[in-house]
């Protein structure tokens, strides 16, 4: 396992890692401007939210999230259905923590692509190193994650590849496993103590936030 903890993590590396996810917009035919600064909340439902670190700079970023502030790093999928509801849930359930949103295609579930995994690792480890991160909320979602479809199934919808219905238990189990695998690859044992794993699970009209170990 490649580790980037310790030294050598600087803002240019974070920018490069963020750029690596820049093409995620083309995974979806998103017509609106979906890039969003890590200093801002994701867009409202109906619009994708791709976090782009080049929309801020390091002094502004550290001023916003640093200074001893207790932060929760929230990693989620840019999906237009789930990004904002997930953010709102994170804010509501962590009233004492300042939420730092990082939204890219597939959320935390990057483990099928070594370069994407490494890019997410750089971003997460930079935040853990520079900020007072009390919690990491590591998430993925059901009902057809386009990012995971791209990474794992050559674009085929996850539930179709699994031969089940969208939001079926089989898809949920697959996504929970994908979250766990990536968490294990991005964070070391010590860091995993503060990781909360969450499946954003749509069922009919309702969105549930399923935390699991
Ligand atoms: Zn997704």
CA 66 to ligand 1 centroid distance, Å? 29
What is the sign of the dihedral through the CA atoms of 97, 49, 17 and 148?
Answer: positive
Domain segments of the chain as ranges? 11-212
CA 158 to ligand 1 centroid distance, Å? 10
* In 21-153, alpha helices (H): 58-65, 83-93, 114-130, 146-152
CA 6 to ligand 1 centroid distance, Å? 30
Q: pLDDT value at position 174?
A: 98
Q: How far apart are CA 19 and CA 13, in angstroms?
A: 10
pLDDT exceeds cutoff 90 at 105:
yes
Q: pLDDT value at position 39?
A: 98
Q: Which helix (H) or strand (E) holds 72?
A: strand 70-77
Per-residue pLDDT averaged across 123-144, rounded?
A: 98
Per-residue pLDDT averaged across 85-109, rounded?
A: 98
Band (pLDDT 50/70/90 cuts) for residue 4 is very low
Band (pLDDT 50/70/90 cuts) for residue 67 is very high
pLDDT 10s digits, 9-48: 899 999 999 999 988 887 776 665 689 999 999 999 999 9
CA 75 to ligand 1 centroid distance, Å? 11
CA 56 to ligand 1 centroid distance, Å? 24
Torsion of CA 213, 140, 101, 5, to 10 degrees: 60
- What angle do helix axes 114-130 and 169-186 make, rounded to 10 degrees? 60
CA 78 to ligand 1 centroid distance, Å? 6
* Rg (the chain; Cα; Å): 16
CA 101 to ligand 1 centroid distance, Å? 15
Computed over every residue of the chain, the mean pLDDT equals 94
CA 147 to ligand 1 centroid distance, Å? 5
CB 195 within 8 A of CB 187: yes
The length of the chain, given as a count of residues = 213
CA 120 to ligand 1 centroid distance, Å? 15
Q: Which fold has domain 11-212?
A: Beta-carbonic Anhydrase; Chain A (3.40.1050)
Per-residue pLDDT averaged across 140-162, rounded?
A: 95
CA 90 to ligand 1 centroid distance, Å? 17
What is the sign of the dihedral through the CA atoms of 142, 25, 28 and 152?
Answer: negative
CA 99 to ligand 1 centroid distance, Å? 20
CA 181 to ligand 1 centroid distance, Å? 16
CA 106 to ligand 1 centroid distance, Å? 4
């Amino acid at each position: 396992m490649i580790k980037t903890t310790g030294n050598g993590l600087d803002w240019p590396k974070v920018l490069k890692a963020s750029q690596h996810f820049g093409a995620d917009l083309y995974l979806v035919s998103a017509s609106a401007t979906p890039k969003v600064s890590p200093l801002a909340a994701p867009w409202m439902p109906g619009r994708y939210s791709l976090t782009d670190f080049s929309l801020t700079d390091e002094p502004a970023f550290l001023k916003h999230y640093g200074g001893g502030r207790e932060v929760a790093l929230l990693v989620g999928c840019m999906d237009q259905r789930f990004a904002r509801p997930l953010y709102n849930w994170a804010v509501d359930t962590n009233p004492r923590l300042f939420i730092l949103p990082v939204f890219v295609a597939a959320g935390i579930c990057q483990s099928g692509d070594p370069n994407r995994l490494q890019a997410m690792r750089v971003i997460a480890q930079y935040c853990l190193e520079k900020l007072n991160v009390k919690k990491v909320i590591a998430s993925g979602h059901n009902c057809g994650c386009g990012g995971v479809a791209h990474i794992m199934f050559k674009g085929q919808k996850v539930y179709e590849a699994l031969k089940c219905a969208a939001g079926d238990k089989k898809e949920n189990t697959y996504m929970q496993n994908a979250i766990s695998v990536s968490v294990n690859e991005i964070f070391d044992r010590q860091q995993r103590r503060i990781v909360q794993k969450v499946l954003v699970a749509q069922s009919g009209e309702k969105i549930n936030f399923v935390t699991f170990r």
